[in-house]
Chain A
Amino acid sequence: MRAQICQKCLAPSKLLLRRAPTTTTSPFAHQAFPATTARRTFLTGFRKTTVEKDGQVRPPLSSELASPSDHSLYKHAEGTRVLLKPNNLFHPMDKSPSPSMRERAANIKRTAYCPHPHHRTANSPTHIRFTCPDCGIPAYCSEEHWAEDYQNHMLICDALREANEDDHDLRSGRFFPEFEYPGEQMDEALVNFTNWDTLLYTREFRAINDERSLRQVTKLLTYPITVASFVHELSPYDIRHRLTVEGLKSVSALRYTLHPPRTGAGKDIKGIRVTPPPVRLFILGARSESSLPREVWHQLTHMFPLSTFHLVFIGPQSMMNRDAELPLPDRTPANPFGAVVERVSHNMKISTFVEYYHTLHDTGTFKPYDPYFDMFVLFHPGLGHPGSAAEWESTLPRLLDTKCAILCTGFTEEDMSRDVNWVHDKCKGEFDVLLEPGENRFRSLRWDINE
C-alpha cells in the first residue's frame, strides 16, 4: 500500500514558531530532477530517447516527458498529477499554487500585527501586509518596517523559509516513502534511543537519506516516540542523564508493566495466562495529536511487544480535524461522556473525550489510578502561557492527587521554563521532579508556523 499523506492531518497543527537563537540550518540542496525516465513498454525495450538536430541521441529532458507524473518517483496510486517538483518548493505564501497556503497567508494578514517596535511606542497596531521576499511569509506591514527590523527578522528568516518549503513539500503530491512505517520486530530486538537516526535504524524503518523527509516524518513520530523514550527500559534518560531518584522509582513501576517477564502463554488451553490490564496513557489537552494517523500511535505497541495500551485523549479540542467521526456518540449510561472508542488493534485502544480533565476526574470515570499502569502526558500544554494557564489551574492539583507520573513537553526552551516556573509557583512542595527540564532527544526536527 502506497503511503499517502492525509490532507487533514497537515491542516494547521498549531505549533508555535518562536524566535530561537540562530539555528544553523544549512540551505537544503535540492537533488536535481533526474532527466532520465525508467518507463519501459514492449515497444521501447530501451530507454526513451530523442534525436537531436545533429543526430546525437540523448535521454529526454524532464520537460519533454509526457507529464511530470511519468517519473517513477512521482507516480501516484490514483494517477493524480504532482503539484510541485523538488526544485520548485519555495513560494511566497500569498502567491502559492496551493489554495490552503493562500488561505493561511490571508489568515495571517487578517489577524496578526506587525512586530516593528514603532507600533508599540506609537500604540498603533497595524495588520501585516508585506511578505518577506527571502522566506515568503507575511511578516511586516510595509517594506520600510521590514528593512528596519531586518536584524531581528534574520534570526528566524532561515527557519521560516525552511518551514515554508516543508509545507509546500507536503502539498506537492509526491510519493512519501518515509510515511511507510515498519511493523513488529522480534521480541529480542533492541531499540537504540540515542538519537533519531539510531532509533529509525534499529526499528527497521526504511532509510531516510533526505533531510526534508526526515523532518516530515519526525514531526509525526515525535508524539509516540517521546513517550516511549521516557518509559522504555533502554531510555536515554537515566540517573546520570537528567533522571532523578523519584523519576527512577516512577519509571521503574511503569517498566514493570511494560516489560513483563515471560509467562509461557500460548495459543491453546494450556497457554492461558492471566493478562494484566492495559497501560493507560492519558493525553491531556489533546489537539493535533488526537488526529494523528493511527499507524503512528501503533508504533508504540511495536516497541513494547509484551504489553497492551489504552490511549485516552482528553480535552475540549480533542476532536480537532476529525470531522469525519463527528457527531459524537450519544451519552448513554454505558458511555456517559459520549466518548469515541477505537480499537486500533488487539493491543491498542484509543478513546477520545471532549471534556476538561477536571470534570472527568471529579466523576471518578478513570478510578482507580495505579502508578504501575497509568501515566499522564501533556504535549505542549502551555501551562504558563497567559492564554491557557487558567484552564490548567483546576486540573493540575487533581493530576497530582492521582500519584501517577506526568510528562510535559513544550515548544521551545522558554516555553518549557515558563511552564516549569508556573508549576513551581502553583504546586510548591506537592510534587517531585522526575526528569530535569532539558531538550527532548526525540523532538520534531521541523519548524511549523502558528497562525
Chain B
Amino acid sequence: MHPTRKLFVLPRSTYYEPDQRQGASLIRARKPFLIKNVITGLVMFGITASIYVYTIRAVSQDEFEDVKVPEAPGRGVSKEVGGK
C-alpha cells in the first residue's frame, strides 16, 4: 500500500563485500603485485623511520656525567668576604 522509498545509496564497488572486506576477485587481481608492493612499503617505511631515528639522536642532549659541576655561587662569595 505505501511503497518504501529508497534513500540515495552511495555507489559501492562490487569488489568489496558488504562488510568492507576485500572480495576474492580483488585479492586475485592484487596477487601478482602483492609481495613487491609490501616490500616497497616496508622499504619506504624503513627509510622514513631511519631518518627520524637519526635526527632525534643527532639533536638529543649530550651526556654530562663526566663533567664536575662547581658549587652554587652564593656560598663561594660569602667565604671570600669572610676571609678578607
Contacts and interface: CB of A to CB of B under 8 A. Distances in A.
Interface of A: 42, 194-195, 197-198, 200-201, 206-209
A34 to B, nearest CB: 14
B32 A207 contact: no
Interface in B4-59: 13-15, 23-26, 28-29, 31-32
Which one of A42, A195, A209 has the greatest number of beta carbons of chain B within 10 Å? Answer: A209
B29 A200 contact: yes
B32 A209 contact: no
A201 B29 contact: yes
Nearest to A195: B32
B1 A197 contact: no
Contacts of A200: 25, 29
A201 B26 CA distance: 8
Contacts of A207: 13-15, 23, 25-26
A contacts with B: majority SS:
loop
A198 B29 contact: yes
Given A194-B32, A198-B32, A201-B29, A209 B1 contact: no
Contacts of B14: 206-207
Given A42-B1, A201-B15, A209 B23 contact: yes
15 contacts: A42-B1, A42-B2, A194-B32, A195-B32, A197-B25, A197-B29, A200-B25, A200-B29, A201-B26, A201-B29, A207-B14, A207-B23, A207-B25, A208-B25, A209-B24
Contacts of A195: 32
Interface size on B, as a range, is 10 to 19
Contacts of B23: 207, 209
Nearest to B3: A42
B1 A201 contact: no
B39 to A, nearest CB: 18
Contacts of B28: 197
A38 to B, nearest CB: 13
Nearest to A213: B25
A197 B23 CA distance: 12
A195 B1 CA distance: 50
Given A197-B25, A207-B25, A209-B23, 6 more contacts: A195-B32, A201-B25, A201-B29, A207-B26, A208-B25, A209-B25
Contacts of A201: 15, 25-26, 29
Contacts of B15: 201, 207
Nearest to B24: A209
Contacts of A206: 14
B13 to A, nearest CB: 8
B2 to A, nearest CB: 8
Give the most central of B2, B14, B23: most A CB within 10 Å. B14
Q: Which of A42, A195, A201, A207 has the most CB of B within 10 A?
A: A207
A275 B31 CA distance: 41
A229 to B, nearest CB: 15
B60 to A, nearest CB: 47
Contacts of A208: 25
